Structure 1
Amino acid sequence: MSEASARLAGLFDGHRLTPTQRRIAQVLVRRAEEAPFLSSVELAESAGVSQPSVTRFAVALGFDGYPALRRRLREALRGGDGTPPAEAAEPNVYQQAVLAELAALRRLAAELADPTRLERAGRLLAGSRPLPVLGLRAAAAEARGFAYFAAKVHPDVRLLDEGGSHLADRIEQAADAGAAALLCFALPRYPRELVGALGVARTLGLDVVLVADSPLIPVAEPADQLFTAPVSTALSFDTACGPMLLGRALLEALCDALPDAQARLERFDTRAADRDVFLD
């Protein structure tokens, strides 16, 4: 990321933005050098959103409108917003955990230099109606997070985050309803029943997209589309920033593959505002 992009990205930190607003922020960061000179209409076209969405984005950041935001963008690129504090000479155990995750994320960024596989998996998931999302025990949080956001753009997402004898039934029901693929998050320690669940999915002909911590996990098979990022063991319980970020990357690829994703997000934002769902 360039210095200019980093400065603009810092302006958006700490703000709760809707998916539509995040897309606008991404465009500004990506086009940092020219961002202060883009009109609201140009920015809206570049982000694939409506012009009123740009105005709402500016208001969400605390400005009274887009012109005020654009002035702030110019100031940020002119003077910067300071630099982060220096690292402690001897990081404590909590800092070490963060630094370990940062190192793993840098390796993941390098591995994602070619987005072809992610984009292919995104198209596969977008075309599956319904889309079952599986994650048990330690991986349940990643599955829930993906399913929560995917449901805003995909018409039929089915979360499978509980084991038991009914798990195979739910996979069979998804296949009977037309599912073509299954997304699975697999993190240590791997539940035994995950092997059986994935076996059912493969027997039914579902393509398995697997997000895991290692290419050597015991639940994977050669035909799976496998994406890996290690978990960190620096703390008493594993942290899984890499696998979570991989899930979000797949979610982005899913959005890009759905032609009506942006329209669905816009409708959700409008309905949420009408119902006063969120505090901000």
Structure 2
Amino acid sequence: MIDESKRDLINQIQKKFPKLSKGQKLIAQYIIENYDKAAFMTASKLANKVGVSESTVVRFANALGFEGYPQLQKGLEEIIKTKLTTVQRVEMASEYSNEGAILKKVLKSDMDNIRTTLEKIDYDVFQQVIDKICSAEKIYIVGLRSSTALADYFGFYLNLILDNVKIVSYGISNIFEQMLRISERDLVIGIGFPRYSIQTVDALTYAKEQGATIVGITDSLLSPLASIADYPLTAKSNMASFVDSLVAPLSLINALIVAVGMREKDEITEYFNKLEGIWEKYNVYERKNQS
């Protein structure tokens, strides 16, 4: 986790600027003016762009208190996630030479996101979230904007296992009206990734004020959802151009669904047997050809 002093790297760089060397000042100036591009450059590429040596880039990172350039780059990525406009994200795609390059870049990025999520997931928190899901009187799932699909998916499968799940979404009633009866016996699962929905943050804040337990599924412990959550779970969601990568978050949600399902295995086996009969009777799914 990036410490508090590095929450805003732009301000950090500006404060250090007078004490930097001539070459380091060139790097600082470029990052301040082009943070959206610099965050995705290697040390070598940044050095060539600015006209300094790669070692100067490394020393610049050290001057800001980082062990090396990769740590500076990660810190910058965390900061710019919420600042990039959709237009800037589209411009990031200009580096893709053709459709084949896009396919490889996006799939590789998604694989890296899942790998990083697996390496950094807090297994104790994961276990505690399962406990809370299984013991809550009522479960509210809040995911708006691009996270709506994740919330709907999570809610759909949890509703097949449990009978106390409510998906909070846009509709005739606003999100606060849908959460009006929330209490300290309830669990609220907030899902949000950059650019974070203000309404999701407000909904979690309201639920916290009512004494409910909060789970945050988000991209970083620096996320506004994580700061509200009693139990934050992070999944990496580095974007590929203007599209948010939700592959790792969906994989994390899948893991939660399966884990809860295994806790309720006996009950859901009977439930699914009944559902299969209903599905077959009313032709919900296509039937296999019978000889």
How far, CA to CA, are the matches of 2:264 and 2:237 in structure 1? 30
**Is the CA contact 1:128–1:179 (under 8 Å) kept in the aligned structure 2?**
yes
Q: Deviation string for 1:4-54 (max 9, x for gaps)?
A: xxxxxxxxxxxxxxxxxxxxxxxxxxxxxxxxxxxxxxxxxxxxxxxxxxx
Identify the match of residue 263 of structure 1 among 258, 266, 270: 270
RMSD: 2.4
How far is 1:165 from its partner?
Answer: 6.9
Residues 264-279 of structure 1: pairs in structure 2 closer than 5 A: 264-279=271-286
CA contact (8 A) 1:97 1:232 kept: no
1:146 matched residue in structure 2: 154
Counterpart position of 1:97: 106
Distance 1:270 1:117, change over 3 A: farther
Structure 1 runs not aligned, ≥5 long: 1-90
Q: Distance in 2 between matches of 1:216 and 1:165?
A: 31
Whether 1:158 aligns to 2:163 is no
Closer/same/farther in 2, CA of residues 164 and 212 from structure 1, 3 Å limit: farther
Q: How does 1:129-144 map to 2 (within 5 A)?
A: 129-144=137-152
Which residue among 246, 250, 256 is the counterpart of 1:250?
A: 256
Equivalent residue runs for 1:1-280 within 5 Å: 92-112=101-121, 115-162=123-170, 166-175=174-183, 179-221=185-227, 224-258=230-264, 260-280=267-287
Q: Which runs of 4+ in 1 moved over 6 A?
A: none
Write 1 or 2 for the structure with the bigger share of helix: 2
Deviation at 1:251?
Answer: 1.4
Task: Mark the runs of 5 or more structure 2 residues left unpaired by the alignment.
Answer: 1-99
In structure 2, what is the Cα distance between the partners aligned to 1:130 and 1:144? Answer: 16
Distance 1:249 1:221 in 2: 23
2:63 corresponds to which residue?
none
Q: Which has the higher contact order (CA 8 A, sep 6+)?
A: 1
Alignment match, 2:37: none
Within 2, Cα distance between the matches of 1:222 and 1:167? 17
Larger of the two Rg values belongs to structure: 2
Report how many residues are paired.
Answer: 188
Q: Is the 8 A contact 2:125 2:232 kept in 1?
A: no
Helix, strand or coil at the partner of 1:255: helix
Q: Tell me, what secondary structure is at the counterpart of 1:92?
A: helix
TM-score (norm 1): 0.61
Deviates more, 1:119-128 or 1:252-261: 252-261
Indicate if the aligned counterparts of 2:193 and 2:219 stay in contact, CA closer than 8 A. Answer: yes
The 2-side partners of 1:152 and 1:255 are apart by 9
